[in-house]
Amino acid sequence: MVAVIKKYNSVEEIAESLDEKISQTKSNLGELLRKLDEIRKLAETSQKIREIVMKSSGKKNEANESLGEIDVGNIKIVLDANPSQQMTVIENAVKSHQESLLVLQQARQGLRSLEQLGSTEGLEFIVLEKQLIPELVMLKTS
């Protein structure tokens, strides 16, 4: 997990940064949901075809079938990924974006109390961000 320290001159700058991240996350989430819808349809069609072929060939659908997965260090490589595997990856990405969006929105809401400071001349805002999400705001007089 990457941690970054950023300096801002005002609460408004922090708010703008958060608003930008929220907007980008929403945009990415929308794109992922569109892709998920497309791949879900493909996965359903693929599964139906598989069931028909297996039934007509008299073979049973074996759950232990090799998935063509290889572990290389900490990375899993899937050879010739099928629509179901692709759907799982996209679903995980959607879940991650939804969680990030919620945390960003909560951070933005929490920042509202600092907006009541009024003039922040002479103050510096030092923000600790982990995975682009603010975790700590330190106020420092300059």
Give, as one character, the DSSP assignment of residue 79: T
C-alpha distances out from residue 77 to 42, 71, 74, 80, Å: 21, 6, 10, 10
Backbone phi, then psi, for 9, in 5-degree steps? -95, -15
Q: What average pLDDT does range 115-142 have in this prediction?
A: 85
E strands present in 1-142:
3-8, 69-72, 75-78, 123-130, 133-141
Ranking 4-13, 97-106, 111-120 by mean pLDDT, the lowest is 111-120
Per-residue pLDDT at 18 exceeds 60: yes
Residue 125's domain comprises 3-56+76-141
In the predicted structure, residue 20 carries a pLDDT above the cut 90: yes
Neighbours of 64 (CB within 10 A): 5
Asked if residue 108 is part of any domain, the answer here is: yes
More confident residue, 5 or 52: 5
Query: Is 127 a domain residue?
Result: yes
Is 62 inside a domain boundary? no
Total of domains in the chain: 1
Name the band, by pLDDT with cuts 50, 70 and 90, for residue 62. low
SS3 61: coil
Residue 64 lies in a domain: no
Indicate whether 63 belongs to any domain: no
In a domain, 84, yes or no: yes
* pTM score of the predicted model: 0.75
pLDDT score of 64: 40
The verdict on residue 70 lying in a domain is no
* 90, part of any domain: yes
Whether residue 89 is predicted with pLDDT greater than 80 in this model: the reply is yes
